[in-house]
Protein backbone atom coordinates (compact mmCIF):
# COMPACT_ATOMS: atom_id res chain seq x y z
CA UNK A 1 0.00 0.00 0.00
CA UNK A 2 2.79 2.44 0.91
CA UNK A 3 4.53 1.70 -2.37
CA UNK A 4 1.30 2.33 -4.28
CA UNK A 5 0.82 5.66 -2.48
CA UNK A 6 4.41 6.63 -3.26
CA UNK A 7 3.90 5.79 -6.92
CA UNK A 8 0.70 7.85 -6.96
CA UNK A 9 2.44 10.86 -5.42
CA UNK A 10 5.31 10.57 -7.89
CA UNK A 11 2.94 10.39 -10.85
CA UNK A 12 1.07 13.42 -9.58
CA UNK A 13 4.30 15.36 -9.17
CA UNK A 14 5.38 14.37 -12.67
CA UNK A 15 2.06 15.53 -14.08
CA UNK A 16 2.40 18.87 -12.32
CA UNK A 17 5.92 19.29 -13.67
CA UNK A 18 4.81 18.45 -17.20
CA UNK A 19 2.00 21.00 -16.94
CA UNK A 20 4.44 23.66 -15.75
CA UNK A 21 6.69 22.92 -18.71
CA UNK A 22 3.70 23.08 -21.07
CA UNK A 23 2.63 26.41 -19.54
CA UNK A 24 6.15 27.80 -19.98
CA UNK A 25 6.23 26.63 -23.60
CA UNK A 26 2.79 28.13 -24.26
CA UNK A 27 3.79 31.53 -22.91
CA UNK A 28 7.08 31.40 -24.80
CA UNK A 29 5.38 30.40 -28.06
CA UNK A 30 2.89 33.25 -27.98
CA UNK A 31 5.55 35.77 -26.96
CA UNK A 32 7.82 34.58 -29.76
CA UNK A 33 4.90 34.67 -32.20
CA UNK A 34 4.13 38.27 -31.24
CA UNK A 35 7.75 39.38 -31.53
CA UNK A 36 9.07 37.35 -34.47
CA UNK A 37 5.93 36.54 -36.44
CA UNK A 38 4.69 33.16 -37.58
CA UNK A 39 7.03 32.81 -40.56
CA UNK A 40 10.17 33.49 -38.49
CA UNK A 41 9.07 31.60 -35.39
CA UNK A 42 11.13 28.47 -34.73
CA UNK A 43 10.90 25.57 -32.32
CA UNK A 44 14.45 26.35 -31.21
CA UNK A 45 13.59 29.93 -30.29
CA UNK A 46 10.51 28.84 -28.35
CA UNK A 47 12.48 26.21 -26.44
CA UNK A 48 15.19 28.71 -25.60
CA UNK A 49 12.70 31.30 -24.36
CA UNK A 50 10.84 28.67 -22.31
CA UNK A 51 14.10 27.44 -20.76
CA UNK A 52 13.65 23.87 -21.96
CA UNK A 53 15.31 21.59 -24.48
CA UNK A 54 13.91 21.18 -27.98
CA UNK A 55 13.01 17.60 -27.08
CA UNK A 56 10.36 18.93 -24.68
CA UNK A 57 8.61 20.56 -27.63
CA UNK A 58 8.98 17.66 -30.02
CA UNK A 59 7.58 15.25 -27.46
CA UNK A 60 4.40 17.30 -27.56
CA UNK A 61 4.21 18.43 -31.20
CA UNK A 62 5.87 17.18 -34.40
CA UNK A 63 6.15 20.64 -35.95
CA UNK A 64 5.76 24.37 -35.47
CA UNK A 65 2.42 24.31 -37.25
CA UNK A 66 1.09 21.54 -35.00
CA UNK A 67 2.27 23.42 -31.91
CA UNK A 68 0.67 26.75 -32.86
CA UNK A 69 -2.53 25.04 -34.01
CA UNK A 70 -2.99 23.24 -30.69
CA UNK A 71 -2.07 26.27 -28.59
CA UNK A 72 -4.48 28.53 -30.45
CA UNK A 73 -7.19 25.88 -30.26
CA UNK A 74 -6.70 25.74 -26.50
CA UNK A 75 -6.98 29.51 -26.21
CA UNK A 76 -10.10 29.91 -28.32
CA UNK A 77 -12.01 26.87 -27.05
CA UNK A 78 -12.49 28.55 -23.67
CA UNK A 79 -13.89 31.68 -25.32
CA UNK A 80 -16.36 30.25 -27.81
CA UNK A 81 -19.43 32.48 -27.82
CA UNK A 82 -22.75 31.14 -26.64
CA UNK A 83 -25.84 31.95 -28.66
CA UNK A 84 -27.91 34.60 -26.85
CA UNK A 85 -31.60 33.82 -26.51
CA UNK A 86 -33.11 36.92 -24.92
CA UNK A 87 -36.31 36.75 -26.97
CA UNK A 88 -35.60 39.90 -28.98
CA UNK A 89 -33.28 40.43 -31.95
CA UNK A 90 -31.86 43.74 -30.70
CA UNK A 91 -30.79 42.40 -27.34
CA UNK A 92 -29.50 39.17 -28.90
CA UNK A 93 -27.34 41.21 -31.27
CA UNK A 94 -26.17 43.50 -28.49
CA UNK A 95 -25.20 40.58 -26.27
CA UNK A 96 -23.30 38.77 -29.01
CA UNK A 97 -21.48 41.94 -30.06
CA UNK A 98 -20.49 42.52 -26.44
CA UNK A 99 -19.08 38.99 -26.33
CA UNK A 100 -17.12 39.58 -29.52
CA UNK A 101 -15.85 42.89 -28.14
CA UNK A 102 -14.56 41.20 -25.02
CA UNK A 103 -12.74 38.60 -27.06
CA UNK A 104 -11.26 41.11 -29.50
CA UNK A 105 -10.00 43.19 -26.58
CA UNK A 106 -7.83 40.27 -25.44
CA UNK A 107 -4.22 41.59 -25.44
CA UNK A 108 -2.94 38.30 -26.84
CA UNK A 109 -5.28 38.51 -29.82
CA UNK A 110 -4.28 42.11 -30.44
CA UNK A 111 -0.60 41.06 -30.50
CA UNK A 112 -0.86 38.05 -32.79
CA UNK A 113 -4.17 38.40 -34.63
CA UNK A 114 -3.08 40.63 -37.50
CA UNK A 115 0.16 38.68 -37.90
CA UNK A 116 -1.70 35.39 -38.25
CA UNK A 117 -4.24 36.90 -40.64
CA UNK A 118 -1.48 38.24 -42.86
CA UNK A 119 0.45 34.98 -42.82
CA UNK A 120 -2.65 32.92 -43.56
CA UNK A 121 -3.03 34.65 -46.94
CA UNK A 122 -0.15 32.53 -48.26
CA UNK A 123 -0.26 29.57 -45.87
CA UNK A 124 -3.23 27.36 -46.69
CA UNK A 125 -2.88 25.12 -43.63
CA UNK A 126 -2.77 28.11 -41.28
CA UNK A 127 -5.76 29.68 -43.03
CA UNK A 128 -7.76 26.48 -42.66
CA UNK A 129 -6.88 26.20 -39.00
CA UNK A 130 -7.89 29.79 -38.27
CA UNK A 131 -11.19 29.34 -40.08
CA UNK A 132 -12.00 26.03 -38.39
CA UNK A 133 -10.95 26.97 -34.87
CA UNK A 134 -11.64 30.71 -34.71
CA UNK A 135 -13.92 31.97 -37.47
CA UNK A 136 -16.40 29.16 -38.06
CA UNK A 137 -17.69 28.82 -34.46
CA UNK A 138 -18.34 32.56 -34.28
CA UNK A 139 -20.13 32.60 -37.61
CA UNK A 140 -22.30 29.72 -36.42
CA UNK A 141 -23.27 31.68 -33.29
CA UNK A 142 -24.15 34.72 -35.39
CA UNK A 143 -26.08 32.65 -37.91
CA UNK A 144 -28.09 30.98 -35.15
CA UNK A 145 -29.28 34.40 -33.95
CA UNK A 146 -30.30 35.38 -37.46
CA UNK A 147 -32.16 32.13 -38.07
CA UNK A 148 -33.95 32.51 -34.74
CA UNK A 149 -35.04 36.04 -35.69
CA UNK A 150 -36.33 34.72 -39.03
CA UNK A 151 -38.29 32.00 -37.24
CA UNK A 152 -39.80 34.60 -34.88
CA UNK A 153 -40.72 36.97 -37.71
CA UNK A 154 -38.25 39.73 -36.75
CA UNK A 155 -36.22 39.30 -39.93
CA UNK A 156 -37.48 38.48 -43.43
CA UNK A 157 -37.30 34.85 -44.57
CA UNK A 158 -35.41 36.03 -47.65
CA UNK A 159 -32.50 37.31 -45.53
CA UNK A 160 -29.13 36.49 -47.07
CA UNK A 161 -27.66 34.60 -44.11
CA UNK A 162 -24.08 34.82 -45.34
CA UNK A 163 -24.29 38.58 -45.83
CA UNK A 164 -26.13 38.93 -42.55
CA UNK A 165 -23.38 37.07 -40.72
CA UNK A 166 -20.78 39.35 -42.34
CA UNK A 167 -22.71 42.41 -41.18
CA UNK A 168 -22.81 41.13 -37.63
CA UNK A 169 -19.12 40.27 -37.37
CA UNK A 170 -17.02 42.28 -39.81
CA UNK A 171 -17.43 45.89 -38.59
CA UNK A 172 -16.32 45.15 -35.03
CA UNK A 173 -13.42 42.95 -36.16
CA UNK A 174 -12.23 45.66 -38.55
CA UNK A 175 -12.46 48.39 -35.92
CA UNK A 176 -10.78 46.53 -33.07
CA UNK A 177 -8.37 44.13 -34.75
CA UNK A 178 -7.24 46.05 -37.82
CA UNK A 179 -7.71 49.66 -36.68
CA UNK A 180 -6.86 48.66 -33.09
CA UNK A 181 -9.51 51.02 -31.80
CA UNK A 182 -11.76 50.37 -28.83
CA UNK A 183 -15.55 50.39 -28.82
CA UNK A 184 -17.33 51.74 -25.76
CA UNK A 185 -20.91 50.92 -24.81
CA UNK A 186 -22.33 53.87 -26.77
CA UNK A 187 -20.53 52.71 -29.91
CA UNK A 188 -21.72 49.15 -29.38
CA UNK A 189 -25.33 50.27 -28.94
CA UNK A 190 -25.18 52.36 -32.13
CA UNK A 191 -23.57 49.47 -33.98
CA UNK A 192 -26.33 47.15 -32.77
CA UNK A 193 -29.04 49.50 -34.02
CA UNK A 194 -27.30 50.00 -37.38
CA UNK A 195 -26.72 46.27 -37.81
CA UNK A 196 -30.36 45.49 -37.04
CA UNK A 197 -31.50 47.97 -39.69
CA UNK A 198 -29.01 46.64 -42.25
CA UNK A 199 -30.11 43.06 -41.64
CA UNK A 200 -33.71 43.94 -42.52
CA UNK A 201 -32.49 45.18 -45.89
CA UNK A 202 -30.04 42.32 -46.58
CA UNK A 203 -32.48 40.21 -48.55
CA UNK A 204 -31.83 38.01 -51.55
What is the pLDDT at residue 6? 43
Q: Where are the alpha helices (DSSP H) in the chain?
A: 2-36, 43-50, 54-58, 64-77, 89-104, 107-120, 124-130, 136-151, 161-173, 185-201
**Cα-only R_g, the chain:** 21
pTM higher than 0.85? no
- CA 140, CA 120: separation in Å to the nearest integer? 21
Neighbours of 145 (CB within 10 A): 23
Q: What average pLDDT does this structure show over 32-41?
A: 88
Indicate if the pLDDT at residue 189 is higher than 80.
yes
Q: What is the pLDDT of residues 39-83, one digit of tens each?
A: 889 999 999 999 999 999 999 999 988 898 888 877 766 666 678
What is the pLDDT at residue 194? 97
- CA 78, CA 97: separation in Å to the nearest integer? 17
C-beta of residue 71 within 8 angstroms of C-beta of residue 64: no
- CA 145, CA 166: separation in Å to the nearest integer? 13
Indicate if the pLDDT at residue 142 is higher than 60.
yes
Residue-wise DSSP of 152-203: TTSS-TTB-HHHHHHHHHHHHHIIIIIS-----HHHHHHHHHHHHHHHHH-B
What is the pLDDT at residue 12? 55
What is the pLDDT at residue 8? 41
Neighbours of 50 (CB within 10 A): 21
What is the pLDDT at residue 104? 84
C-beta of residue 31 within 8 angstroms of C-beta of residue 49: yes
Burial class (CB in 10 A: 0-12, 13-18, 19+), 79: middle
Q: What average pLDDT does this structure show over 10-24?
A: 74
Q: What average pLDDT does this structure show over 172-184?
A: 87
Q: What average pLDDT does this structure show over 178-187?
A: 88
Amino acid sequence: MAAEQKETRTATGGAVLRQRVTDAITEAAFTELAEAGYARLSMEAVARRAGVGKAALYRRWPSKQAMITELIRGKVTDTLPHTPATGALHTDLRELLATFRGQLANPLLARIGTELLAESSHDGALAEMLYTEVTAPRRLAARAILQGAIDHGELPPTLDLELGTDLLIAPLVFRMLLMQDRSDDDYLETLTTATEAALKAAVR
